[in-house]
């Protein structure tokens, strides 16, 4: 498997974990809410 896929999977898992531990986030908004807070979208 190319290295970029492993890196992408690692980034997704980190974002997901941050979504899980972020306070005040409901289940549907975990991923997008975390991305919003990280990148200010």
pLDDT tens by residue, the chain, 41 residues: 577 888 888 888 887 777 666 655 555 555 566 666 666 54
**pLDDT at res. 41:** 46
Do residues 34 and 18 lie in contact, with contact meaning Cβ atoms separated by under 8 Å? yes
**pLDDT at res. 32:** 60
Distance separating alpha carbons of residues 17 and 37, to the nearest angstrom: 14
**pLDDT at res. 31:** 57
Distance separating alpha carbons of residues 4 and 14, to the nearest angstrom: 15
**pLDDT at res. 29:** 55
Indicate the pTM of the whole model. Answer: 0.41
Distance separating alpha carbons of residues 11 and 18, to the nearest angstrom: 11
């Amino acid at each position: 498997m190319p290295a970029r896929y492993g890196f992408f999977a690692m980034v997704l898992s980190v974002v997901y974990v941050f979504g899980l531990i972020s306070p005040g986030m409901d289940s549907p908004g975990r991923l997008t809410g975390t991305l919003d807070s990280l990148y200010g979208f």
